[in-house]
Amino acid sequence: PAMASGTALIYDDEMTSYKLLWDDPECDIEVPERLLSSYEQLKHYHLVERCIHVPVREGTEEEIMLVHSSEYLEVVKSTQTMNEEELRRVSENYDAVYFHPNTYRCAKLAVGATLQLVDSVMSGKVCNGMALVRPPGHHSQRNAANGFCVFNNVAIAAQYAKRRYGLQRILIVDWDVHHGQGIQYVFEEDPSVLYYSWHRYEHQQFWPLLRESDYDAVGQGKGKGFNLNVPWNKVGMGNSDYLAAFFHVLLPVAFEFVPELILVSSGYDSGIGDPEGQMTATPECFAHLTHFLMQLANGRVCAVLEGGYHLKSLSESVCMTVKTLLRDPLPQISGEMAPCLSAVESIQNVRAAHKPYWKCLMYEEATPLHNLSTKSQQMMEAELIQTSTHPTAKQVVGTTNSDEAIKTDRFLESHMKKILFPVPPVKTASAIVSKVDAHLLPISVQVEMEMNAQELKTLVSAFDAELVKEEKALLSLQNVLAVLDKILKKKVCNGIAESSVASVSTTFALKHCFDFGLQRVLCIVVGDMDLELDLDDGKILLMNICQKQQTEKTNSKYHISLNWKEDAGRNNFFCAVLGFILPVAYSYQPDLMIIVIGPNRSLGVNAISLLTCLLQGLAESRILVVIQDTEIKLVQSVAKALSGVSTPDFGAYAPAFQENFLEIKRLRDQLQQEWKMLRCSVKDWI
């Protein structure tokens, strides 16, 4: 189904008109400047003008009472006319929250802004969007304000969307560094709302200090399995820990859940420099997290601001989120792609706790590790010492004192220049050369002008003189190199080329890449194809997805054969993509990706489109697809996937065959020392 287009931005500076009026060290980080600096940075990157502006409105009392009691609503309403003394007294009735005469007005605007965003997405006026609001919402409860939150914006939005649009499956992803217990309480018995949250926990030593924030809070009654908590028991968690939690927990379950709408409790205190979170994930990580969520629910993603208290880190991460919602190419993710022992232990525990409820986890180890063996405990202590010397973690993990904050500012300035400016906002378009009529393709696809023959002949004859003779092969080569050239020169982001000799064309393309100076190319071959490649130096990572057992080929670090048996109609290849291909690809950090589609492939059009969509987070979204001319009917759907005009309809979930799951586990066990993003259990941790 075609997807709507456009990104809504919902913001009104009236939500900056309340602040803390007295001394309270726990609340003084929640300041109006959080919205102002985020909005300024969005303007700085020219993102505001690219969004569709939707006005805010007040949430009505009826909408607020979808979650809150009328008594609580009356208490909040009564604060409008209070003096400072009375405001302090009301605030002391709750944990970590303050009131101001304008709080009620702003809290209603935050609810209304969120519902305006849901309406804009559900009506098809836009595809996705972000609401920049305060006060935040995810801690507030039926009868209580909590943790700077007054009305639970995202919980109200979920109840609203169920009632107004008859939705039956809503996914809430809460990447704020605090546990949104308010949301968990509202939906813990509700199987129509899947709540996923990670949060700083430190074995219940971190606020809000709740036993029910741990991984074994899986939901109650009919809601069992629909509440996923990923507790972080150490600070300093970074990009690789967050991505691993997506690959091995959220995404497999989310694809199985098949949500109709994604609501994001989009808190950025989980980002680097934040005094609350003390984590080290850099702004571009939120671009990748957003990108993955956009492959679900036909791209209907509503991001609603929650926390985030380091103004520079918050602003950059907000911009990364909006930039991705606008479908810009993603910046390269930075840092070592290896989740830490503590993160992997949490990931393993939540997977084990949810094993009874999700088919994608049915072959997992049953036993959560309530206490690690002494050996792993020692390993963890040792690792702690090692990471505490890690410059990024040590240097910029936020503290409230100002010189640390200034150091973080400087780190972020230099970091953002590195990842943002070399990558000009390349048009997300695709070059294509094929017999398929241009009108069948998305408008963003340019039909490639042919490379001039003479130029090509010299290029080809440099490689392989006798190939020049065969006209048809030469034309194929021309297609592939012409499209590749545009990608390498950053004229387009990605491209498709049809070839009668896909394997030879790919060999040439790879040589052209290395002549151009690329260091690492991920080459994924779908179907049977013999590529004569030199795989020893690590400049190519070849992954072959094929039907039959590749007996002669043993898997090595740079040559992996994934046997996948998929029959028509069953759609479960994403377990392989999420649980294996993406973790390996993110560990490898390629400069470019080449997907080669050959004859008698074992993957259907959905699986290939999904693979193309999910891989776009890598290599600044630079993908070349080489299609053997026998597979020409794929071109249209692959072009759609590449140009992002629609997320392929993945159809209803069907559990993968057991041998497919076991194949992934076998490969993971075999390669997790080489490609550390594969880690999702602490056994065999050496």
Ligand X SMILES: CC(O)(O)NCCCCN
Of 92-121, binders to ligand X (CB under 6 A) are: 96
In order, the DSSP letters of 374-413 are HHHHHHHHHHHHHHHT-HHHHHHS--SSHHHHHHHHHHHH
Does position 274 bind Zn ion by CB under 5 A?
Answer: no
- Of 68 and 178, nearer to Zn ion (C-beta) is 178
Lay out the site mask for ligand X across 297-316 (x = CB under 6 A, - = otherwise): ---------xx---------
- Of 299 and 307, nearer to ligand X (C-beta) is 307
Element (H, E) at 499: strand 494-499
Cα-Cα-Cα-Cα dihedral sign, residues 185, 186, 192, 194: negative
CB of residue 145 vs Zn ion: minimum separation in angstroms?
Answer: 15
CA angle 409, 410, 411 (to 5 degrees): 90
Does position 136 bind ligand X by CB under 6 A?
Answer: yes
Cα of 564 vs its chain's centroid, Å: 25
Of ligand X, Zn ion, none, which one sits near residue 136, judging by CB under 5 to 8 A according to partner kind? Answer: ligand X
Are residues 555 and 671 in contact, defined by beta-carbon separation less than 8 angstroms? yes
**CA–CA dist 191, 188 (Å, integer):** 8
β-pair partners for 52: 8
Of ligand X, Zn ion, none, which one sits near residue 147, judging by CB under 5 to 8 A according to partner kind? Answer: ligand X
CA angle 155, 160, 165 (to 5 degrees): 135
- Of 307 and 598, nearer to Zn ion (C-beta) is 307
Cα-Cα-Cα-Cα dihedral sign, residues 145, 154, 314, 102: negative
Cα of 8 vs its chain's centroid, Å: 19
Does position 580 bind ligand X by CB under 6 A?
Answer: no
Residue that is written with structure tokens 């008594």 in the block: 71
Region of 143-151, 279-287, 332-340, 446-454 interacting with ligand X (CB under 6 A): 143-151
Of ligand X, Zn ion, none, which one sits near residue 148, judging by CB under 5 to 8 A according to partner kind? Answer: ligand X
State yes or no: cis peptide before 25, omega within 30 of 0. no
Q: What residue is closest to Zn ion based on CB?
A: 307
Task: Give the residue numbers annotated as catalytic, written as ranges.
Answer: 139
Q: Which residues contact 362 (CB under 8 A, 6 or more apart)?
A: 355, 655, 661
Lay out the site mask for Zn ion across 173-202 (x = CB under 5 A, - = otherwise): ---x-x------------------------
- Of 176 and 620, nearer to Zn ion (C-beta) is 176
Residue among 267, 283, 598, 617 that touches Zn ion (CB under 5 A): 267
β-pair partners for 593: 522, 623
Q: Which residues contact 382 (CB under 8 A, 6 or more apart)?
A: none
Residue among 34, 68, 108, 178 that touches ligand X (CB under 6 A): 178
Of Zn ion, ligand X, none, which one sits near residue 351, judging by CB under 5 to 8 A according to partner kind? Answer: none
Lay out the site mask for Zn ion across 557-596 (x = CB under 5 A, - = otherwise): ----------------------------------------
Does position 182 bind ligand X by CB under 6 A?
Answer: no
Beta sheet of 430-433, edge-to-edge order: 445-447, 430-433, 494-499, 623-628, 592-597, 521-526, 540-546, 559-563
Region of 73-81, 127-135, 263-271, 345-353 interacting with Zn ion (CB under 5 A): 263-271
Of Zn ion, ligand X, none, which one sits near residue 283, judging by CB under 5 to 8 A according to partner kind? Answer: none
CB of residue 389 vs ligand X: minimum separation in angstroms?
Answer: 28
Does position 135 bind Zn ion by CB under 5 A?
Answer: no
Region of 165-173, 300-308, 317-325, 458-466 interacting with Zn ion (CB under 5 A): 300-308
β-pair partners for 677: none
- Of 195 and 675, nearer to ligand X (C-beta) is 195
Q: Which residues bind ligand X (CB under 6 A)?
A: 26, 96, 136, 139, 147-149, 176, 178, 207, 267, 269, 306-307
Q: Which residues bind Zn ion (CB under 5 A)?
A: 176, 178, 267, 269, 307
